[in-house]
Amino acid sequence: MKKSVTARGRPIDKNKKIAQKAKLLAAAQSLLTEKPYGQISIRELTQRANINSAMVSYYFKNKEGLFIALLDEMSASHFMNMKNIAQAKNPIKAFISNIIAMLNDNSSFAQLIHQELANSNSELSAIFIERFPKKMATFLPQLIKKNTLIQDDKKAKHAAFSLINMIIMPFMNKNIRQYAWQISDQEMQSNDWIEHIYQQFIYGCSAITKTTDTE
């Protein structure tokens, strides 16, 4: 059997390609937990992945391409979970629990939200908005209409936007949450916190429907 050969250091073996790409994606996600995207160098990425630096341009063209691929991978996984959530016994609470778990398990994702959304000229920011907020702006209002008394499209959209902000903001303002309010990461992962967000949201939905009934 002939062994796989390389051209100018580029791997031909399919399994090796898959493994190297996975290592670079894992390195990108890991480094995001330590520093902002703009401070991460290709050298750091390839050292963390233990791969030749030329592989970044070979697989992803550049650093931004690597992080776009990471966003694509996270988006695909995230919205696959959303399909399961829609079938849950309590879809709204399951949604809240899932997003909180994702942010707790992927602190790099919360960091990327915080860093890149502040930079409106970044291609990465535009890609992030396409992969997550725009998809969520389609999915969540429909979930709310199916599982609450809110049926008006505009009100469902406003309720969805409010719910997302209720969940995400404590992660984006982590320092304020921890040092001013003394709310720890462990507390954010508790069932009590999930129930707190859920009850706030349901109360708000009830208020919206009461207002609608009296109009």
The residues, ordered by sequence, that sit 6+ positions from 159 with a Cβ below 8 Å of its Cβ are 141, 144, 148, 150, 201, 204, 205, 208
* Nearest-angstrom CA–CA distance, 38 and 125: 12
Tokens of 208: 């919206």
| Share of residues in the chain with pLDDT > 70 (%) | 84
Which tens digits make up the pLDDT trace of 102-129? 888 776 666 666 666 566 566 777 888 8
Residue 2 confidence (pLDDT): 45
The separation between CA 48 and the C-alpha centre of its own chain, rounded to angstroms, equals 22
**Has residue 96 got a pLDDT over 70?**
yes
Phi, psi of 3, rounded to the nearest 5 degrees? -80, 150
Q: Which residue has the higher pLDDT, 127 or 85?
A: 85
Q: What is the mean pLDDT of the chain?
A: 85
The residues, ordered by sequence, that sit 6+ positions from 120 with a Cβ below 8 Å of its Cβ are none
* Nearest-angstrom CA–CA distance, 167 and 94: 13
Which tens digits make up the pLDDT trace of 140-160? 999 999 999 999 999 999 999
Reported confidence tier of residue 5, pLDDT bands at 50, 70, 90: very low
Residue 154 confidence (pLDDT): 95
Instruction: List, in order of start, the domains of the chain with CATH numbers.
Output: 9-61 (1.10.10.60), 70-214 (1.10.357)
Q: Which residue has the higher pLDDT, 102 or 193?
A: 193
* Nearest-angstrom CA–CA distance, 59 and 44: 16
pTM for this model (two decimals): 0.79
